[in-house]
Amino acid sequence: MSSRPEIQAPPEIFYNDDEARKYTSSSRIIEIQAKLSERALELLALPEDGVPRLLLDIGCGSGLSGETLTESGHQWVGLDISQSMLDVAVEREVEGDLILGDMGQGLALRPGVVDGAISISAVQWLCNADKSSHDPRKRLKAFFESLYRSLSRGARAVLQVYPENVAQRELILSFAMRAGFAGGIVVDYPHSSKSRKEYLVLTCGPPSLSSATPQGIGEDADCSNDESSEDEENQAVCVSDRHRPRKKQKLNKKTKGRQWVLKKKEQMRKKGNAVPPDSRYTARKRKDHF
Amino acid sequence: MRLLTHNMLSSNIKGVTNGFPLALEVTKLVTKPVDFNPDFLKNMLLKVEWKALVEASRAMGYAELPEQTEPSMVESEEFLRKFHHALLELHLEEGSLVCPQTGRKFPVCKGIPNMLLHEDEV
């Protein structure tokens, strides 16, 4: 991922009027957002008794994810930091209420009122320090603590994230655990680099059977091994060549040789390039300089 | 912004211990019809701070809600209809929310409350 929006500008500036319109007029983005929020709602595992719940959508943007919530009959309140995105949401006449707010400042909600929270591709923004007053650790702490408070007991929060690297994922997860959440990361399609999606599934309250992390889609039974082996790969230390004995280094070194150089020179001559004449010095190693 | 959201919002300025309920200053309000769902209302009745809802609905010019609730009232459709109207159909379009402790105003514009804090309030 070379063009991560997170490294371009702070969210309230990156999602300006143009970007907000682009975001909502692209059928591809709409489809992805709808799929992500459907999966998030599934992971939320609300009791299926037909009673609408009050849900929170963190980083609701133009309300694409909220639409999925409305379709399944729930009431929702959305929070976003970008005025332009919320303006688009108002234009699209979404059903839920919208709040302009910064999740890194903590959610301005009364304790225990929300039945569940979802967030699509938003939480990784907290890892950035866009202003001199921003400290990612403080902002993550404020966010998770206020989220924990505002959820009712036993409620779940499903946060789909795009962490930049392993360290960022661990940072987010550690602050969630520190705030008192139980749960973990569910990875859908772990073997695909494109459709791989990570969800933080957090449960409010002490760990129990119901708070066990669900299985991701498209992974085998040994998915946990896969996860850890991948982490190891990333953390593996490269053994530097200079610590090896000199002799071995020499043996391992494979140069192309005089024959190869002569062949190449001949080829270049045939092409009509200017090539220096062959001599006994051709393809000989230069003298070591101190 | 519906009163449902108002009933959940609380001021989170640094140092404020009791940021609930936020007072309402109404400049413009609109009413939008919403489908009536008694199950949701019964569920919400347990969560809503009733006193704050009554005061907020009065500030919005709707004085039909009773001062107190009783468990038996859940069965009365008339009561649920009133509750439904106050909770979901009244929208604050323009105005502001006032923090009860510090008096800081959070402006509401196009129905969206601006809860962004300044750097010294975090």
E strand or H helix that includes residue A146: helix A136-150
- Tell me the pLDDT band of B22, cut-offs 50, 70 and 90: very high
Chain B residues whose beta carbon lies within 8 Å of the beta carbon of residue A108: 9-12, 19, 115
Task: Give the distance from residue B28's alpha carbon to the nearest chain A alpha carbon, in angstroms.
Answer: 16
Query: From chain A, which residues contact B within 8 Å (Cβ)?
Result: 50-54, 75, 77, 81, 83, 86-87, 90, 97-102, 105-110, 112-114, 131, 133, 142, 146, 150, 152
Say what the pLDDT of residue A250 is. 58
On the question of pLDDT at B96 being above 90, the answer is: yes
**pLDDT value of residue A116:** 93
Q: Of all residues in chain A, what percent are helix, strand and coil, respectively (each to 5)?
A: 45, 15, 40
Q: What are phi and psi of A221, to 5 degrees?
A: -65, -30
A277, part of any domain: no
Q: What is the pLDDT of residue A220?
A: 55
Structure confidence by residue, pLDDT tens digits, A6-31: 888 888 888 888 888 888 788 888 88
Which structure tokens are listed for A29?
Answer: 């983005």
How would you list the strands of the sheet with B105-109, edge to edge? B23-31, B90-98, B105-109, B112-113
Residue A289 covered by a domain: no
Residue in A closest to B107 by C-alpha: A100
Please answer whether residues A65 and A38 qualify as being in contact, where contact means their C-beta atoms are separated by less than 8 angstroms. no
**A101 domain-assigned:** yes
Query: Rounded CA gap, A77 and B4, in Å?
Result: 9
Q: Taking all residues of chain B, what is their mean pLDDT, rounded to a whole number?
A: 90
Comparing CA positions, the residue from B25, B2, B28, B5 lying closest to residue B99 is B25
Q: Is residue A29 part of a domain?
A: yes
User: Has residue A211 got a pLDDT over 60?
Assistant: no
Tell me which residue range forms the domain holding A103: 5-242
Query: Given this model, what pLDDT does residue A123 score?
Result: 92
| B11 contact residues in A (CB cutoff 8 A) | 108
Confidence (pLDDT) at A47? 86
> What is the average per-residue pLDDT within A233-242?
44
Residue A234 inside a domain? The answer is yes
Distance (Å, whole) CA A233 – CA A203: 30
Cβ–Cβ gap A51/B49 under 8 Å? no
Q: Is the pLDDT of residue B18 over 60?
A: yes
B7 contact residues in A (CB cutoff 8 A): 110, 113
pLDDT digits (tens, 9 = 90+) for A101-143: 999 999 989 998 999 999 999 999 999 888 888 899 999 999 9
Report the gap between the CA of A5 and the closest CA in chain B (Å).
Answer: 22
Residues of chain A contacting B40 with CB distance shorter than 8 Å: 51-52, 75
Cβ within 8 Å, pair A110-B9: yes
Averaged over B11-36, what is the pLDDT?
89
Q: Do B43 and A52 count as a contact with CB atoms less than 8 A apart?
A: yes
Give me the pLDDT at residue A226, please.
Answer: 40
**β-bridge partners, B97:** B24, B106
| Residue A252, pLDDT score | 55
Q: State in Å, rounded, how far the first CA of chain A is from the last one.
A: 43
- Per-chain mean pLDDT for chain A: 83
Provide the number of structural domains found in chain A: 1
Q: Given B49, B113, B119, which is nearest A100 (Cβ)?
A: B113
Give domain status of residue A142, yes or no: yes
pLDDT digits (tens, 9 = 90+) for A153-207: 889 999 999 988 889 999 999 999 999 998 889 999 888 888 889 999 999 876 6
CATH, residue A110: 3.40.50.150
Q: What is the DSSP letter of B88?
A: I
Give A138 to chain B, closest Cα distance, Å: 10
The structural domains of chain B, with segments of one domain joined by +, span 3-112
Distances (CA, A) of A60 to A64, A94, B78: 7, 11, 34
Give which of A56, A113, A114, A131 to mutate to test B binding, by max B Cβ within 10 Å: A113
Share of chain B above pLDDT 90, in %: 56
Cα(B100)–Cα(B22) distance, rounded to whole angstroms? 6
Mean pLDDT for B65-82 is 87
How many interface pairs between A and B have CB atoms less than 8 angstroms apart? 83
Q: Do A109 and B8 touch (CB under 8 A)?
A: yes
Query: Are A110 and B113 inside 8 Å of each other by CB?
Result: no
pLDDT at res. B94: 93
Q: Burial, A106: exposed, middle or buried (Cβ in 10 Å; 0-12, 13-18, 19+)?
A: buried
pLDDT at residue A234 tops 60:
no
pLDDT band at A237 (very low <50, low <70, confident <90, very high): very low
pLDDT tens-digit readout, A243-282: 555 555 555 556 788 899 999 999 999 999 999 999 988 8
Residue A104 lies in a domain: yes
Please report, for residues A66, A87, A96, A267, B91, the alpha-carbon distance to residue A33 in angstroms, rounded to integers and kept in the order given: 10, 18, 17, 55, 28
B2 with A97: Cβ contact below 8 A: yes
Residues of chain B that touch chain A, judged by Cβ-Cβ distance less than 8 Å? 1-2, 4-5, 7-12, 19-20, 37, 39-40, 43-44, 47, 49, 88, 110-117, 119, 122
* Predicted local confidence at residue A214, as pLDDT: 76
Contact B97, B23 (CB under 8 A): yes
Compare CB distances from B115 to A51, A75, A100 and report the shortest one's residue.
A100
Residue A80 has pLDDT above 80, yes or no: yes
pLDDT recorded at residue A99: 94
Residue A262 CB contacts under 8 Å (≥ 6 apart), including other chains: A278, A282, A283
CB contacts of A81 in chain B (<8 Å) are 116
pLDDT at B53: 93
Burial class (CB in 10 A: 0-12, 13-18, 19+), B14: exposed
Q: Which residues of B touch A114 (CB under 8 A)?
A: 8
Is residue A263 a part of any domain in this protein? no
The CATH architecture one would assign to domain B3-112 is: Single Sheet (2.20)
